[in-house]
Every structure is written in C-alpha cells, then in structure tokens.
Structure 1
Amino acid sequence: MNDSLGALIAIVVLWSILRFAFGGGNNNTGSGNAAPALNTTRSRQVPQHMVDSVKTLFPHISDASIRYDLQRSGSVEATCERILNEGGLPSPPAGFFGTAEPSTPSNAAALRAQNANRSPNGAASASASSVSTPSKSPNLISRYGLQSRIGQEDVLSTPDSRASTSSQGSPSAWATTPEARAKLLQDRKAQMILEARRKLMERQQSAAKEAAENASTDSAAAAATS
C-alpha cells in the first residue's frame, strides 16, 4: 500500500515538473512573439500630413482615431475607404500612442508661424500646391468613376440640391429591391466623396488667399521700413 502511494505521488510530482517546464516555455515564447508585433505597430510613425489629409476630408473624426487607423493601414486611401464604409473610425486604446507622437496644437502653431513668415515666393508656391493638392484624393474619384460628376459639385453645393439629396437619402426613399438599395448606397457614397472634395478645395483656396495676403502685408511693411 505504501509502495503504491509513493509511486502515485512520484508520478504526480513528475507530471507537474514536466508541465511547468514545457508549458511555461510555450507561454514565454508566445508572449515573446506577440511583443515584437505590438512594438512594430506602435513604432510605425505616421506623418502629420497624412493625418491632415484625412482630417480635411472628414473633420468630424478625431485626430487620435485617424492616426490609430493610419498606423494600422499605412494608407490615406484605405483609411478614407474605411470611414466611407463604416461611417467612422474606432478610438485607439488608452495610452496607445504614449509620448512619442507629436501633438496637434504644436504642429498647428508651427504652421501658423510658417505662414506668418512666408515670402511672396512662398505664397506663390502655396497657391500652386493648392491647385495640385486635390489630386492626392482623386484615387477615390477614379475608383468610383466620378470624373464625369466633378463638374456637378457646384450644383450639389446649393441649398436646394442639398435638400433634394437629403430627401433622396432619407429612410422614406429606401428602395425595396436589393439592386435599388445598392444603387442608392452607391449614390450616397459618391455624394459624400464629392462633397468632401469640394470642402477640401475651398479650404485650400482660403489658405492660399490668406498666405497671399500675409505675403503682401510683409512686403508692404518691408518696403515702408526701407
């Protein structure tokens, strides 16, 4: 009886040792593999101009959510596509960015300082860039085949057209067939893209005008002092 009990205890102790040795090693290996992936995701730096591009098109999305999704996708187009499909972006986990990410207020202050000290040549380059910058988002325009509808943006911007657009997208106008529903959703998505493009162009034109006014003011002040 004592021999059987001793053998049973020895088997249990040996099994516990083997489980601790091999099971603990697997857990440590799994955590070691997961840590580099997390560090890689966090260490991917997102340029501020990518965040600003998405923010200009979708001002209701927070900067943190935009930066978090750009870290995962690495593409402005993919992030815009997700916003159009899902209607928004998830918020990042608490403390995900840490202290390495730049803050938006400091970047805004730096941009204002650059605009204040910009020369006439800088104003000309800003106006030229404002004309060429809308071509950064035409990937969505070409993907959905909206080249022929770009000229209709002025019509879509009128109050009457907005009212008719909202009435078409209201639940009362919801189609009954799958084909009609798909077409309605496609039209609403196209309207969102065109409206976002129009707002982007308006903001860029306003920024270029402000830069030109600042440059002319600086030139007049320099001429007066000389």
Structure 2
Amino acid sequence: MGEVVNAIVAFAVIVIIFRWATSSEYFGLAVSASAALGFRPKNVTQEMVDQIHSMFPDIPPDNIRFDLLRTGNVELTSNKILERGFLDAPPPAYYTLYPRQETQAPAAASRAPTAAQIAAKESLIARYELQERAQSEIASDDTSNGGGKAKWEDTPEKREASLRERKAQMILAARQRLLAQQQAQGGADASGSS
C-alpha cells in the first residue's frame, strides 16, 4: 500500500512540475496565439514584412504579417498576392496579439510616394537593361507597335530569347506611348497658357 501512495505522490509532483515548466511566458504566448488565430503561427521578422510591402505597397502590412504567420514564407505570400491581387484581412483576434502601429503622417500623405521612393524604384528600362535601345529609338524616332504575333520556336532557349525580345519591345513601345502622351500634354499646356 505504501508503494502505491509513493507512486501517486511522485506522479502528482511530476504533473505539477510539468505544468509549472510549460506555463512560462513563452509557452503561454504560443498557446494563446494558436488559440486566438486558429493556427500555429510561424516565425515572422519585420524584414519579411518589409520585403513584401516594398514589392506591394498597396497591401496593408497587417495583412502581410497575418499571411506570413500562416505560411512563414515570403515567396508563398508574394505568389498569393500575384494570383489573387489581395490578401485577406486579419481577424480581430490578430490585433490583440499584434497591435496596430500608429503612424504620425496622415493616411493620404502616407499613400503618396516621396521623391526618394520614386528615385529608389528601378524603372523597367533599367531592370531589363534597355537603356541603349531606348536611346537609339529616341535618336531614330522609331515607333514600332511593340510585339506582334509570336512564332513558336523549336527549342526552349529560342522560346526564352523570343519572349525576352517581346518583353523588351513591349516595354519600349509603352515608353514611346508615354513620351508621346507627355509631349501632347506639354503641347496642350503650352497652348492653354498662351
């Protein structure tokens, strides 16, 4: 009979120690986060949120963080934005765990890009290394339609080169249309102010 009492006391002590060890702040937060969100959140850094927010500035950071908590992967979240065009808004329980960060700037001013942000963004001409072709088109005043019908190539390498060339033609054609539109607006502004 004494051995049974000793076993029960030992078991009770082990349960108490286990509960005490797992009720620390870290484990309590993880359990409450899982219960509040309905899934076990992944580790998310501010750099991950900033990286996606820089690619998609119209998506709210809270929506980005909430999706990253689910996926834990910048690529998966980026692909979801590209496929759907938006991310789901977090539930109210999310804001109890991750309060909104108040910004000092008014909302309308925060949406407008600053000159530094505009200068920091890379243009498509620079991204696809089309500076020389853009300059040569300006000099020759070439206004091609920028695309046309594609021909199916025999090898993957030729198809990739054809796609790359069509992208370049489309970018340059869009640039030509933008320059023509700006010139037309400039002409209209000049004649309207006279």
**TM-score of Structure 1 vs Structure 2, range by shorter chain:** 0.3 to 0.5
TM-score by length of 2: 0.45
Higher RCO structure, 1 or 2 (CA under 8 Å, sep 6+)? 1
Larger helix proportion of the pair? 1
TM-score by length of 1: 0.41
